[in-house]
């Protein structure tokens, strides 16, 4: 009888433990709140000492308050301003009205808010490379004095998983460095106005990089030649340096004149080739010009998502030998598509590898080389381990609970 009571107590405790552990993932997925920008939201560029520009730079904004303003405080210099095209907004330099000063104060508040969020995940020195990662809504921190790096090899993909309120916050304990041609890509409803980068030191956006989000840098920001920015460049104490850049700080919500376009890349390898979606570079163009975030590497379903004004667009890809190309979905056979206000359309670009013989050079007699067919076998890689220690505990708890239940069922054996 004593053993029976012990088994019953253990079963109850295990059941309670399992229920508590199952509640933890639910709590961890609670929505992260957006960082409040205050009056800083009206600025596309804000610096502490100076703003320096080289070449033709375009700065625009479309928030109700402006969004494309430029300001400096406590400095007042904007070198190269004459080469900057600003569409209808204001440069606050001498700041006699205190507008830039107030924006700097609100920037400090936003910085503290972002830096004070509890991390969802922390990257260390062995995992501080953002290129190639696909991240969902959360707070991503970098260990002590760690630089947040993003190389050009693979883009950083931010996946909102269909939640248009998804927030992404990055806490760089040192610098933020984007390599030349590197990209941040938004999918499944992610919005650039809900992406925040708190940088303890300085940020560098490499040549022809594509950046998404609001940078809160304690020191300085350098946008190198051709860097494309959707969001804000906000430096607390130092300078902001521009060079032939495009910067747009716009609305966070879709307007009635906007539409959604999903571009999916699907690759079929039934003749021995091994290319994957990311090997293909895709374009979305209007009037022969790439839209923001285009070109971009291909992504299998659900693909890349673009929020665009109503109009005519062409979806295309750069030439890739050994594959045929065809289009399906809402475009015509050449990738042409018309978007009306409120549309939510999809274009799928399908590539099928062509038949061919892969050959390899072999030595036959000295000084003579011939080729022989080589059979290429494509095998699937090992699936990534997506489990966590938490779910290992859950499985253990479930097993123990089942054991306890079986013991309770057979209690008469111990009477």
Q: Determine the pLDDT at residue 226.
A: 95
Of 303, 300, 349, nearest to 328 by C-alpha is 349
In this prediction, residue 361 carries a pLDDT of 41
Q: Is the pLDDT of residue 262 over 70?
A: yes
Q: What is the pLDDT of residue 411?
A: 52
pLDDT for position 374: 42
Contact 149, 95 (CB under 8 A): no
DSSP 180-249: TT-BEEEETT--GGGEEEEESS-EEE-TT-EEEEEEEESS-EEE-TT-EEEEEEEESSS-EEEES-EEEE
∠ CA 345-348-351, rounded to 5°: 170
How would residue 204 be classed by pLDDT, with cut points 50, 70 and 90?
A: very high
Determine the Cα–Cα distance for residues 60 and 249; give it in Å rounded to an integer: 6
Mean pLDDT of the chain, nearest integer: 82
Alpha carbon distance, N-terminus to C-terminus of the chain:
5
- Say what the pLDDT of residue 153 is: 79
Q: Are 315 and 328 in contact (CB under 8 A)?
A: no
pLDDT digits (tens, 9 = 90+) for 110-162: 999 999 999 999 998 788 889 999 999 999 999 877 788 898 778 999 998 87
For 258-353, CATH number out of 2.60.40.10, 3.30.499.10, 1.20.58.1000, 3.40.50.720 equals: 2.60.40.10
Residues paired with 148 in a beta bridge: 176
For residues 252-271, give the mean pLDDT: 80
* 230-245 mean pLDDT: 97
Give yes or no for residue 74 having a pLDDT over 80. yes
Residue 413 or 189, more confident: 189
What pLDDT sits at residue 64?
57
Say yes or no to pLDDT of 12 above 80. no
Residues 315 and 261: their CA atoms lie apart, in Å, by 10
H/E run at residue 115: helix 99-115
Residue 32 pLDDT > 60: yes
Mean pLDDT for the stretch of residues 346-365 = 70
Q: Which residues are CB-neighbours of 395 under 8 A, at least 6 positions away?
A: none
Question: In Å, how far from its chain's centre is CA 50?
Answer: 29
pTM: predicted TM-score of the whole model, two decimal places: 0.59
Q: Are 352 and 324 in contact (CB under 8 A)?
A: yes
Listed by start position, the domains of the chain span: 2-30+389-414, 38-249, 258-353
Cα–Cα distance for residue pair 392/399, rounded to 1 Å: 11
């Amino acid at each position: 009888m004593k053993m029976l009571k012990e088994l019953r107590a253990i079963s109850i405790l295990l059941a309670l433990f399992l229920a508590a552990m199952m509640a933890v993932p639910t709590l961890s997925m609670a929505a992260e709140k957006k960082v409040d920008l205050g009056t800083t939201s009206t600025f596309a560029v804000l610096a502490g000492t100076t703003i320096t520009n080289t070449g033709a730079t375009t700065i625009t904004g479309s928030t109700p308050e402006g969004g494309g303003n430029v300001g400096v405080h406590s400095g007042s210099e904007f070198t190269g301003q004459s080469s900057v095209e600003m569409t209808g907004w204001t440069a606050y330099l001498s700041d006699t009205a205190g507008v830039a000063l107030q924006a700097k104060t609100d920037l400090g508040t936003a910085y503290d808010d972002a830096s004070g969020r509890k991390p969802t995940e922390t990257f260390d020195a062995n995992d501080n490379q953002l290129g190639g990662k696909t991240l969902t809504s959360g707070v991503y921190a970098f260990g002590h004095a760690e630089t947040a790096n993003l190389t050009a090899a693979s883009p950083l993909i931010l996946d909102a998983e269909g939640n248009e309120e998804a927030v992404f916050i990055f806490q760089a304990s040192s610098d933020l460095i984007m390599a030349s041609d590197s990209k941040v890509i938004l999918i499944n409803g992610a919005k650039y106005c809900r992406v925040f980068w708190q940088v303890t030191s300085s940020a560098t956006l490499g040549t022809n990089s594509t950046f998404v989000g609001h940078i809160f840098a304690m020191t300085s920001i350098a946008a190198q030649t051709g860097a494309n920015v959707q969001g804000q460049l906000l430096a607390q104490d130092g300078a902001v340096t521009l060079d032939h850049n495009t910067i747009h700080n716009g609305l966070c919500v879709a307007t009635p004149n906007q539409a959604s376009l999903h571009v999916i890349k699907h690759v079929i390898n039934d003749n021995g080739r091994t290319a994957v979606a990311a090997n293909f570079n895709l374009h979305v163009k209007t009037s022969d010009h790439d839209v923001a975030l285009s070109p971009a590497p291909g992504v299998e379903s659900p693909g890349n998502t673009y929020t665009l004004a109503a109009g005519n667009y062409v979806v295309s890809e750069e030439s890739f030998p050994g594959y045929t190309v065809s289009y399906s979905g809402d475009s015509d056979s050449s990738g042409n598509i018309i978007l009306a206000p409120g549309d939510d359309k999809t274009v799928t670009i399908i590539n099928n590898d062509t038949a061919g013989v892969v050959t390899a050079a072999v030595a036959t007699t000295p000084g003579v080389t011939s080729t022989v067919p080589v059979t290429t076998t494509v095998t699937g890689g090992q699936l990534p381990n997506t489990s966590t220690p938490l779910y290992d505990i859950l499985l253990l708890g479930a097993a123990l609970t089942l054991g306890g239940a079986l013991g309770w069922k057979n209690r008469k054996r111990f009477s």
